[in-house]
Structure 1
Amino acid sequence: MAMMILMLLLFLQSLTSSIKATTAKTNRGVSFSYPHFQRLDVKQSIEETKLNLTREIERKEPNGKLRLVHRDKMMSLHHRDHHDHEQRFSDRMKRDVKRVASLTGQLRYEAEAFGSDVVSGMEEGSGEYFTRIGVGSPPRSQNVVIDSGSDVIWLQCQPCHQCYHQSGPVFNPADSASFTGVSCSSAVCNRLENAYAGCSQEGRCHYQVSYGDGSYTKGTLALETLTIGGTTIQNVAIGCGHKNQGMFVGAGGLLGLGGGSMSFVGQLGGQTGGAFIYCLVSRGTGSSGSLEFGRESMPVGASWVPLVHNLRAPSFYYVGLSGLGVGALQVPISENVFSLTEQGEGGVVMDTGTAVTRLPAAAYNAFRDAFIAQTTNLPRASGASIFDTCYNLNGFVSVRVPTVSFYFTGGPILTLPARNFLIPIDNVGTFCFAFAPSPSRLSILGNIQQEGIQISVDAASGFVGFGPDVC
C-alpha cells in the first residue's frame, strides 16, 4: 500500500510539473502547445461573409495610429454590384496567384510613435489592406494600400492620362505648396534602382513599377509632405503616377513598407529605427486594426523571431521557419525545406500583400495530409480555386478542429486562430484549408494567417515579434 501511495504521489508531481511547463510556454506570448484542438465558429463566419460593409471609412483618429482598411471594403462602398462572395473569392485568389508568381520571379535574379488604423474587407475578394494618410500642404486625404513587399511610395496624380477608379479625388500637385519635382541628377533619383525609368526632356526623374497581377504605375518622382496620424513628415520621396492601371480599386496609391531605402520605413531611417507594428484586423468584422511607426516600447510577452537577410532580395522580410504543427504533432518535414540557400533561393517571406500562405510542395502535401488525418469527422467538399482541401460545414454552428502552428527557428511557436486557416469561400458553408503549394522553393506567410495578431518588425535590431496583443 505504501508503495502504491508513493507511486501515485510521483505521478501527481510529474503531472503538475507538466502543467506548469505548458503554462510557462503559453505565457511567453503566442507560443502554444496546448490545447491541441479548438472550436471554429461556423455560423459566425458565414454570417460575416454576408455582411455588406458599408460603414464610412473616413473618420477622425487619435494621433499615434494609422487606420488600415481592407481594400474589399472600398470596393463594397463603390461597387455595390460586387455582392457575390464566391465570385469575389475567386477573383481574389486569381490576383493572389499572380502576386506569388511575381514574388518568386523577383527572387530569381528618432521621433515619437505615430500611425493609423487598419480595417479588413475580404467581402469583395481582395488581398490588400488600406490606410488613410494626408498628402501635401495643406494635406489631402488619400487611401493607400500598405505593402511590406514593395519599396516605392506612389499616388495617382493629375494630370491623369490613364487612371483606375479610386475613392475620392485624384491628388493634384498644383494644390500643394510642398510638392517639389526631383531632377535626374538628384541622389534621390539614383536610389530608385529597379523602379527607375529614365528622364523627361525637362530633366525630371521618371519611375515605373510593375506588379505581379499586371498592375503598374508610371510617372515622375517628387518630394512631398505626408501627414500620418497627426504627425507630419517632410520631403518624402513619392511617385506621382500619371499612367496607372490595375487592381487597386478604391486606393489612391501604395505605401511601400519593404526593407529598401525608398520605402516609407527606409526613408524614415533613424527617426524610427526601422521599426513598425501592424495588426491586420480579422476579415468580416467592422473594427479596425492598426499601423504604428517608431514605438519605443515593444509589446511585453511577444515571441521574437530573427529576421533573415537575403542579399538578393533586401526589401523582403525573411524569417526562419523550422517546421509546422497540426494538433499535438509536429509534421515530419525537413527543416531544409524552409531554408534560405547561399544563392538566395528558398526561405520564408512575410508579406502583407499576399493573402494565402504558400509552402513548397513537399511541405504543403505533408501539412495538408496531417490536417486531413485529424479532421475525418468533418464532411468533405470539392476543392475550389487554389484550394484542394475543403469541407461542407453547412448546418453546423461550430466544429472542433486541430490547432495549426508555425515552429520558428529558435523555439517560438505561433498557433493560429481557427478562422486563420479554415476560411469560408461562399456564403453557404464551404470552408477551405487556407494554404497552397508554392510554385518554387519560396514560402510566403500571407495576410490571412497574420490576421488578428499584433506583429512588430524591427529591421534595425533584426527581429520580428508576434503577439500577444490582438486587434
Structure 2
Amino acid sequence: MVASFSSCSSVPALVIVFSIYLSTFSLVEAGDNGGFSVDIIHRDSLLSPFYDPSVTHFERLQNALRRSMSRANSLKQFAISPFDVSSQVVSDNSGSYLMKMSFGTPPVERFAIADTGSNVIWIQCKPCERCYNQKVPLFDPNKSSTYRNLSCKSKECDLLDSKLRVCAPKTNDCEYNNYYGDGSSTRGFLATETFTLSSTSGKSVTLLEKIFGCGHNNQGTYDEGESGLVGLGGGSLSLISQLKSSIGGKFSYCLVPFEKENVTSKLNFGSEAVVSGDDVVSTPLVRKDPVTFYYVTLEAISVGNKRLPYKNSSKAVAEEGNIILDSGTTLTFIESNFYLNLESEVKKLIHGESFVDPPFLRLCYEPGTDVNVSVTFHFSGGADVKLKPLNTFFRNSKEAICFAIVPYPSVDDVGIFGNMAQMDFLVGHDLEKRKVYFKPADCSKH
C-alpha cells in the first residue's frame, strides 16, 4: 500500500495480520535503541480475529492471491508515475498484515492494516460524516486526555504537501485528505495521540505524541474488524519514520509460512531488529521516488546453475532500484519478458506436464510432481538469497502446485519481492546505513 495525503475526499491488497499492541513508548523514548518485538499474525491464520472456520484453506489462499494482484496493480501505477502524488495514492485494503493497537488515554484497542508500502497512520473517529462499517465503536477523541488536533501552522502539518492538506475554517486545524489507487479514501484531522504496544516480553511500550489521522470520512471495501491503517513505509509520517531516532532506524520481520496457521510471526524494532551471523547477506537500499517504498536492485536470478541477468527489453543492464520489498503482496512480480526466460529454465528442471491456472498463475503442475528446483535472487552488493521450496512453489488447490513468481503485464514495471518469497527469512531494514539484510530462519521459532 502506498499512503499519501491529497486534496479531494474518499481506500484497500492481500492481508496478513500484524498483531501489535500500541501503548505509551517509555522504552523507546528513553533510548535503549528501542529494542522490542511484537507478534504479527497472518490474517487468515487460526489466531486471527477474522478467522472463519467455514472458509477452506484454499479459499483463503485464493482470496489472498486476488488481493495480491489488485495490490500489485496499484503499486506499479504509483512506482512508475510518482509525480502525480497529489491526485493518486496507491494504497488499498489488501495489505498483508494487521496490527492490534491501542490509541489514547485511557487506551482503546483497535485492529488496523499494517503496511510497509504505506506512510500514514489513521483510524475511524467520531463524529463520522461517512464511515464504513466496523464491529467496535469508533474512536472518540473527546474521551482521550492525550488527543490534540494539529494546527495548520504546525511543523507536523508542514510534513504534508500544500496540495494534500486543508486548513479548517474558524479553528485553523490541519485537515488531511487521503485517496488510494483503488478508489478508497480517508479524510479527517491530523492529530497527535498516545499509542500503546504490548511487546513479546510482556512489557507495554508507550509512544507519546505520535502523528496520526483521525478519520471522519472514510470509504473503502474494508473488513468490519479493521479500524484503519498503520503505515510502515519510508515517508515522514509512517510509524517507522516517527520512531526512527528511537529505534536507530532499524526494524525487521520474520514471516511464518502460510501452512503454519497457529504460529505468530514477529516484527522487531531497534536493537531487537539487528540481523547478524555468518549466513547474513545485505544489499543497499536505493533512494527513489516515491520515498514510501523500500527499493533494492535485482541483478539476476539463477535457476539451478543457470544465471539469468535481470533486465527488461529496453535496458542493457539492471536498473538501480528495480524491485520493491513489500510485505503486503503475496506473490513476487517481475518484468514480463524476463519472466518468460525464467519460466523456460524452471520447466527444463521439472519432469511433468505444466499448465496455466487462470487468471494469472502461469506455471502449475499436478500435486506430487517434484518441483524442488533451486532458485536464487542475486541482489546488488553480493546478496544472494537462495529461496527455499516453500518460497518458490505453493499448493494453490487440490489440483495444482504453482510457481510463486509471476510476470507484470507490461515491460517497464518495477518488480515486487512479495511476502511468500520472504517467508522463513529474517529480513532487516537499517535506514541509517541504507541496507537490507536477509538471513535464512525458522520463523516459527524466531
Scaled to the shorter chain, the TM-score interval is 0.7 to 0.9
Q: Which residue matches 1:161? A: 129
Q: 1:350 to 1:333 in 2, by over 3 A?
A: closer
Mapped to 2, the partners of 1:264 and 1:315 lie a distance apart of 12
Which residue type is aligned with residue 115 of structure 2? D
Given candidates 225, 231, 238, the residue that maps to 2:194 is 225
- Report the equivalent of 2:386: 415
Shift in CA distance, 72/278, structure 1 to aligned 2, threshold 3 Å: same
Which residue does 2:87 correspond to in 1? none
Task: Return the structure number with greater helix share.
Answer: 1
Give the RMSD, CA atoms, in angstroms: 3.1
Going from structure 1 to structure 2, the CA distance change for 1:423 and 1:244 (only over 3 Å counts) comes to farther
Q: Does the CA contact (< 8 Å) of 1:338 and 1:347 recur in 2? A: no
1:237 Cα deviation after fit: 0.4
Aligned residue in 1 for 2:286: 308
Rounded Cα–Cα distance in structure 1 between residues aligned with 2:182 and 2:164: 20
Q: Is the 8 A contact 1:127 1:355 kept in 2?
A: no
Alignment map for 1:250-399 (pairs within 5 Å): 250-285=225-260, 286-295=262-271, 298-301=274-277, 302-310=280-288, 312-334=289-311, 339-340=318-319, 347-375=322-350, 377-393=351-367, 396=368, 399=370
* Code of the aligned partner of 2:383: P
Q: Which 10-residue stretch deviates more, 332-341 or 182-191? A: 332-341
Of 213-222 and 134-143, deviating more is 213-222
Please report how far the alpha carbon of residue 76 of structure 1 lies from its aligned counterpart in structure 2 after TM superposition.
Answer: 7.2
Distance across 1 between alignment mates of 2:386 and 2:125: 43
Contact kept in structure 2, 1:221 and 1:238, CA below 8 Å: yes
SS of 1:96 mapped into structure 2: helix
| Inter-partner Cα distance in structure 2 for 1:433 and 1:296 | 33
1:66-89 alpha-carbon deviations (Å, 9 max, x no partner): 121223349975574861555544
CA shift digits 1:23-64 (9 cap, x unpaired) = xxxxxxxxxxxxxxxxxxxxxxxxxxxxxx9x9x79999992
The CA deviation at 1:297 is 7.0
* Normalised TM-score (structure 2): 0.79
Which residue pairs with 1:99 in the alignment? 71
Q: Alpha-carbon deviations, 1:273-311, whole Å to 9, x = none?
A: 21111112221311011112111672222211111111x
Which residue pairs with 2:442 in the alignment? 470
Contact 2:249 2:270 survives alignment (8 Å): yes
Q: Bigger radius of gyration, 1 or 2?
A: 1
Evaluate the alpha carbon distance shift between residue 73 and residue 213 of structure 1 in structure 2; reply closer, same or farther with a 3 A threshold.
farther
Structure 1 residue 357, shift from structure 2 partner: 1.1
- 1:315 is displaced (CA, Å) by 2.0
Sequence identity percentage: 32
Q: Which amino acid aligns with 1:435?
A: I
Cα distance in 2, alignment partners of residues 77 and 69 from structure 1: 9
Mapped partners of 1:216, 1:70: distance in 2: 24
C-alpha contact 1:88 1:126 (8 A) present in aligned 2: no
Q: Structure 2 stretches of 5 or more lacking a match?
A: 1-15, 28-34, 84-92
Corresponding residue for residue 421 of structure 2? 449
> Please, what TM-score do these two structures have when normalized by structure 1?
0.75
Query: Which whole-Å CA distance do the structure 1 matches of 2:118 and 2:163 have between them?
Result: 11
Partner AA of 1:174 in structure 2? N
Confirm or deny: 8 A CA contact 2:21 2:100 kept in the other structure: no
Distance change (3 Å), C-alpha of 1:306 and 1:205: same
Q: 1:42-191 residue pairs with structure 2 within 5 A?
A: 64-73=36-45, 77-78=49-50, 80=52, 83-85=55-57, 87-107=59-79, 108=81, 109=83, 128-166=96-134, 168-191=136-159
Measured after TM superposition, the shift of residue 384 of structure 1 is 2.3
Task: Specify the alignment match of 2:405 in structure 1.
Answer: 435
Q: Which amino acid aligns with 1:178?
A: T
Amino acid at match of 1:265: I
Determine if contact 2:176/2:187 at 8 Å carries over to the other structure: yes
Letter aligned with residue 330 of structure 2: A
